[in-house]
Amino acid sequence: MATELRLPDLGEGIADADVLSVLVSAGQAVAKDEPIIEIESDKATLEVPAELAGTVTQVLVSAGDTLQVGQTILELEESDSAADVKPQAPPPATAPAGPSAVTETPAATPASTPALSRTQPSPTPSTQNLPPPPPASGDFPVFASPSTRGFAREIGLDIREVPGSGPAGRISIDDVKAHARARPSTQPAASVGLTSAPLPDFSKFGAIRRERMNRVRRATATNIAQSWSTIPHVTLFNDADITSVETMRQREKDRVRSAGGSLTITPILMKVVAAALKAHPKMNASADFTANEMVLKDYCHLGVAADTDRGLLVPVIRDVDEKSITELAIEVTEVAAQVREGQLPPERLEGASFTISNLGGLGTGHFTPIINPPEVGILGIGRAVERPVYIEGLLRPRLMLPLALSFDHRAVDGADGARFLTWIVEALAQPLMLAMGD
């Protein structure tokens, strides 16, 4: 009997992926863990391996198809050598998943779907088969762990509306994810800037070409429009004197290079920002307006915006506060190489508590970075320029770094944002505060 191999769970917030190439064909023998298709998700390009060894009997996808998580890729006749290998069970049945609208907002694992032919449309969100939500009176017990309740609050769900699949109706995190994916969006596409007036016929004016937006561009468009239309942004500007920091950087860069890293201003700023977040925890938070609570994070994971051939990606460096500048420089260098090669694992794009966007290398000065939800702030870094500055009545040449802090004014007051940015500026003026470490 043929076994179906399905698209596995690709990580939080990834509901589907495009097929870039099919690496096997009907009649071909494949080994366990041998790549069978190459896919592109919103976050990464990767190969999907075979979970079993056997012979392919039917391939159900082709290059250009969009697959939902849990959708059948191919059918395989398991070989005797793999008879003791248990195939992965399909995910529990629930409503099909639609595309996610917000980057980094935890999303549900979509349900298993039957094998789809190449001409069938992708499933669309539906709530027809969902059981009715329980009454909102709160006069009944809700069986869910504290972590499940916290997760539901963080993504804006009332835990009482989630049908539980466990014993006695116990609600799991998977139940919360499934319900979040199945519920209809309360915000039309037009309100987040994803629709526009019909375009004119540009071909009347000259030759044109059309290129399909890749998944990263489409996801970026959705996320940026959602952020800009739903978050009241405030941006504060300041300039940091990094003359002494640059002297230190020049002195230490060869040592860091010999350790395998590149000592740019980015890892230095990451260390300063991590310390600033510890001193100003309101900036290292997310706002849960459903529960009227602030989610304060004891960890410090920084997203670092990266320009790639595929578009904007934001890899995450974890536990920045626990690492030296040298360690950060090495890790940033390694991650940059993975990003360029398209080999960054999807999990390296999740979990940031604050983001840094450095456009200084492209010659930009001050700019207004857009917040990456569910974070409440982002720091934009421009190009450092030397200019005269009055110090004790004398004009002296100083290297000045443009900084721009955008924050969610619903969660952070202007005074709090100003104190946070000033703290960073003052720390950069005192580089002895920064321990290079080994």
Helix axes 414-428, 265-279, angle to 10 degrees: 130
**Cβ proximity of 208 and 202 under 8 Å:** yes
Distance of alpha carbon 38 from alpha carbon 54, whole angstroms: 19
Listed residue (152, 143, 142, 146) closest to 174, CA to CA: 152
Write down the number of H helices and E strands in the chain. 7, 19
> Would residue 138 be called left, alpha or beta, if left means φ above 0 and alpha means ψ between -120 and 50 degrees?
left
Interacting residues of 292 by C-beta distance below 8 A, sequence separation 6+: none
Catalytic one of 233, 301, 366, 409: 409
What are the structure tokens assigned to 15, written together? 């509901």
User: Could you give the maximum distance between any two Cα atoms of the chain, in Å?
Assistant: 86
**CA-atom Rg of the chain in angstroms:** 25
| 3-class DSSP state of 316 | strand
Q: Active site includes 409? A: yes
Q: What is the DSSP letter of 365?
A: -
For residues 390, 391, 395 and 397, what is the CA-based torsion angle, rounded to 10 degrees? -100
What are the structure tokens assigned to 331, written together? 């890790």
The residues annotated with a catalytic role in the active site are 409
